[in-house]
């Protein structure tokens, strides 16, 4: 116990934070030593989360940099947009390493953040320091970083499904359309009318069309992969399930390429990366096949008639889309095997 890396979680009473608690409970080299709350410090975490009874009974700490520094080496921020922009610099200044799960440090342009998030951007000096941790694409940058910005849930599923084809010039980036669907836990634990059971159950809703805050994040990485500016159509939908994201992506294929060609390209791009599984020809993944796990599963269908490819990519939004990828980034940051503490099988059915 004593030699493990000490971890603090800010936002531990939210869905991302409590998922970090669940996953870190079985990490061989890291342990959670402080769970904090800005609204209920001094009460036991198991009070709000009875599933933690007998596992984590300690009282929630205040969100104070000095208190956190006294107990931990690394801090995960699982807080709403607009919190890390102020808090992360204070935590870095006291010598903590920081992994931020929010969108506050993903976009390097403050103007772009303010346009899409409608909030004041973080200080540019810290924006420059934060490494964008899309682990299978930018993992080399994460090694030895002190400050990581974890990607969004939708961008993770979407970009893992698009980057190899865009990078190789096998699809025309100007034709990409992304049709994405998420379970309700993607919206966090806070309650509002739009997430009420009777509004969600037996319903399928499109939302934030052409306004979603993940549009510039997706375009940032696609532009990097294409080597030129890329703009995309990205449509999001709420599905009556708790966990899971499916991104279905359409694009025009450049050259004469079959689904099998794409499968081989992706298997080669992700070679050695345990958390991306490329499905064999004719097999498309579903969200239940990655539920509760850190996997991203990807399948392909090429339509010779239209010249278009359909790419289907699925993740669990709380694991690969949030807490799992954040721990994968912790592993990379520490120079450990990226799979440590994440080697569990999806819960099925």
Q: Which positions are catalytic?
A: 153
Measure CA 106 to chain center. Answer: 11
Q: In the set 21, 30, 68, 83, which binds ligand NDP (CB under 6 A)? A: 83
Q: Does 218 bind ligand NDP (CB under 6 A)?
A: no
Q: Does 341 bind ligand X2W (CB under 6 A)?
A: no
Q: Which stretch binds ligand X2W (CB under 6 A): 86-94, 136-144, 163-171, 181-189?
A: 181-189
Give just the sign of the alpha carbon dihedral 70, 76, 79, 84: positive
What, of ligand NDP, ligand X2W, none, does residue 341 touch, CB below 5 to 8 Å by kind? none
Alpha helix positions (H), 73-203: 84-93, 110-117, 124-129, 135-142, 153-167, 197-200
What, of ligand NDP, ligand X2W, none, does residue 238 touch, CB below 5 to 8 Å by kind? ligand X2W
Beta carbon nearer to ligand NDP, 82 or 307: 82
Q: Which residues of 14-24 are buried (b: 16+ CB within 10 A; e: fewer)?
A: bbbbbbbbbbb
> Which helix (H) or strand (E) segment is 329 a member of?
helix 324-333
Beta carbon nearer to ligand X2W, 10 or 171: 10
How far apart CA 133 and CA 139 sit, in angstroms, is: 7
Q: Which stretch binds ligand NDP (CB under 6 A): 172-180, 184-192, 196-204, 334-342?
A: 184-192
Give just the sign of the alpha carbon dihedral 154, 157, 163, 166: negative
How far apart CA 122 and CA 100 sit, in angstroms, is: 12
Beta carbon nearer to ligand X2W, 33 or 236: 236
Q: Which residues of 181-192 are buried (b: 16+ CB within 10 A; e: fewer)?
A: bbbbbbbeeeee
Q: Is 128 exposed, middle or buried (0-12, 13-18, 19+ CB in 10 A)?
A: exposed
Q: In the set 11, 14, 17, 103, which binds ligand X2W (CB under 6 A)? A: 103
Q: Does 149 bind ligand X2W (CB under 6 A)?
A: no
Identify the CA nearest to 248 among candidates 310, 315, 295: 310
Q: Does 17 bind ligand NDP (CB under 6 A)?
A: yes
Q: Which stretch binds ligand NDP (CB under 6 A): 217-225, 274-282, 297-305, 317-325?
A: 317-325
Tokens representing residue 297 in the block: 């599963």
Interface with ligand X2W: number of residues (CB under 6 A): 11
What, of ligand X2W, ligand NDP, none, does residue 244 touch, CB below 5 to 8 Å by kind? none
Least separation, in Å, of the C-beta of 187 and ligand X2W?
A: 3
Q: Which stretch binds ligand X2W (CB under 6 A): 21-29, 124-132, 179-187, 269-277?
A: 179-187
**In whole angstroms, how far apart are CA 237 and each of 126, 133, 249, 288?**
33, 25, 14, 17
Residues contributing to the site for ligand NDP (CB under 6 A): 10-11, 13-17, 37-40, 63, 78-81, 83, 101-102, 152-153, 185-186, 188-190, 317-318, 321-322
Residues contributing to the site for ligand X2W (CB under 6 A): 81, 102-103, 152-153, 182, 186-187, 213, 236, 238
């Amino acid at each position: 116990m004593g030699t493990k890396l000490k971890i603090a979680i800010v936002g531990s009473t939210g869905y991302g934070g409590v998922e970090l608690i669940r996953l870190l409970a079985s990490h061989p080299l890291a342990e959670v030593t402080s769970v904090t709350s800005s609204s209920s410090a001094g009460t036991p975490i198991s009070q709000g989360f009875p599933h933690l009874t007998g596992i984590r009974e300690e009282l929630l700490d205040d969100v104070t940099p000095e208190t956190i520094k006294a107990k931990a080496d690394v801090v995960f921020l699982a807080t709403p947009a607009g919190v890390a922009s102020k808090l992360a610099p204070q935590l870095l200044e006291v010598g903590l390493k920081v992994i931020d799960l929010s969108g506050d440090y993903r976009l390097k342009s403050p103007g772009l953040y303010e346009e899409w998030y409608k909030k004041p951007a973080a200080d540019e000096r810290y924006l420059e320091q934060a490494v964008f941790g899309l682990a299978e694409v930018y993992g080399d940058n994460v090694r030895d970083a002190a400050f990581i910005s974890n990607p969004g849930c939708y961008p993770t599923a979407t970009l893992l499904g698009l980057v190899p084809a865009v990078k190789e010039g096998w699809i025309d980036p100007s034709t990409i359309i992304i049709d994405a669907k998420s379970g309700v836990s993607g919206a966090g634990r806070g309650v509002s009318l739009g997430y009420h059971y009777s509004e969600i159950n037996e319903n399928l809703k499109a939302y934030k069309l052409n306004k979603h805050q993940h549009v510039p994040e997706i375009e940032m990485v696609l532009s990097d992969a294409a080597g030129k500016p890329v703009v995309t159509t990205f449509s999001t939908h709420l599905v009556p399930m708790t966990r899971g994201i499916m991104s279905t992506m359409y694009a025009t294929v450049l050259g004469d390429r079959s689904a099998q060609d794409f499968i081989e390209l992706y298997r080669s791009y992700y070679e050695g990366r345990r958390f991306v599984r490329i499905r064999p020809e004719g097999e498309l993944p579903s969200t239940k096949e990655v539920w509760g796990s850190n996997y991203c599963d990807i399948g392909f269908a090429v339509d010779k008639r239209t010249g278009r490819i359909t790419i289907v990519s699925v993740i669990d939004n709380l694991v690969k889309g949030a807490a799992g990828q954040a721990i994968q980034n912790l592993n990379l940051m520490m120079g450990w095997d990226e799979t440590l503490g994440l080697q569990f099988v999806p819960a099925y059915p």
